[in-house]
Amino acid sequence: MGNLKKRSECPISSSLDIWGDKWSLLIVRDLMISKQCTYGDFLKSEEKIATNILASRLQMLEENDVITKQEHPESKAKVLYKLTQKGIDLLPLMIEINLWADKYFTMPPERRVMLEEVKKDKDAFIASKRIELL
Amino acid sequence: MGNLKKRSECPISSSLDIWGDKWSLLIVRDLMISKQCTYGDFLKSEEKIATNILASRLQMLEENDVITKQEHPESKAKVLYKLTQKGIDLLPLMIEINLWADKYFTMPPERRVMLEEVKKDKDAFIASKRIELL
DNA sequence: TAAATTCGCTTGCGTTTTGCAAGTGCAAAT
DNA sequence: ATTTGCACTTGCAAAACGCAAGCGAATTTA
């Protein structure tokens, strides 16, 4: 299944080999907003990812150490997904995507609040989010 | 062909709808390194993009105002592709990808030189690159 | 405690996208 | 006048995607 083949030694290319598709960064986004999600949580988010695609992306991201599975504290039937350090390190990237999008799309009001905070002091925002996610 | 359908109002998702695939950001990368490229230049880069895929991505990026076509000064047979302002604004994002990759992959030596400069003063680097690309 | 429901996936299958090779049409060089 | 270069286009097989249904284990409900 989701095994990685590098197209080149270029760091951009190698990065895209892992999360360069329409869905992976949305999974990362959900984990940055919610800190931890179950399989069902991902399915609920508004872009409506197909369940087989979700499964393959989660596997890919786990194999590449961007996310980890943990057992749910209150049920063996549930699984918790979280970002690893490598995943949390995508935070600056995600923020730059938001800033770019802010310039060229209309932002939903809730995101706007967060972005104001980011614009005030980007590094501080990243630092506090980083702690929050660990 | 490459027409855009938004999956949601989320800025991350909308961004990915434009350049969220394995190839688009490599085209942007080439244009950030070379400032302007011909169709043939893109084909030459080491990831070896298929010509039909290249054509569809160039069209998509142009439709979404990330790149523009210009006529080549010395030949009507050639076409020059350049980044628009919207494309140049992807620079901070590209730099964050590089920084992330720097942490988790081995970097080719030439990129290392650039990254040292970035680490010394990120904003200054972006500012000078910005001017260079216009 | 048996039956129904929840949860995290897997499977099948039709559709779309990708990747490779070959081809086309215009421009420029020979 | 003919060949070469350049920017694509076309055809087709293979892979990835998207949708719906199914499945086994864990949990809840009757």
How does DSSP classify residue B89? T
Check whether residue A22 has its CB closer than 7 Å to nucleic acid strand D: yes
Mean pLDDT (chain B) is 96
Domain B11-83 has CATH 1.10.3720.10: no
Q: What is the pLDDT of residue B76?
A: 95
Output the pLDDT for position A16.
Answer: 98
The structural architecture, per CATH, of the domain A11-84 is: Orthogonal Bundle (1.10)
| CB neighbour list of residue B50: distance below 8 Å, 6 or more residues apart | none
Question: What's the pLDDT score for residue B88?
Answer: 98
Identify whether the C-beta of residue B88 lies closer than 8 Å to the C-beta of residue B130: yes
Strand order in the sheet with A75-83: A36-37, A75-83, A67-72
Tens of pLDDT, residues B34-72? 999 999 999 999 999 999 999 999 999 999 999 999 999
Domain residue spans of chain B: 11-83, 91-133
B126 touching chain A per CB within 8 A: no
Model confidence pLDDT, tens digit, residues B73-127: 999 999 999 999 999 999 999 999 999 999 999 999 999 999 999 999 999 999 9
Chain B: residue whose CA lies nearest to A66: B104
Side chain identity, residue B15: S
pLDDT value at residue A1: 63
Contacts of B96 in chain A (CB under 8 A): 92-93, 96
Q: How far is B76 from chain A (nearest CA, A)?
A: 32
Q: Own/partner pairs for B53-61, CB < 8 Å, 24+ apart? A: B53/B23, B54/B23, B54/B27, B56/B1, B56/B2, B57/B2, B57/B21, B57/B23, B57/B24, B57/B27, B58/B27, B59/B1, B59/B2, B60/B1, B60/B2, B60/B4, B60/B18, B60/B24, B61/B18, B61/B19, B61/B24, B61/B27, B61/B28, B61/B87
Nucleotides of strand C within 7 Å of the protein's CB atoms: 6-12, 18-23, 25-29
- Residue A2's pLDDT is what? 63
Residues of chain A with pLDDT under 70: 1-2
Closest CB from B26, B86, B92 relative to A12: B26
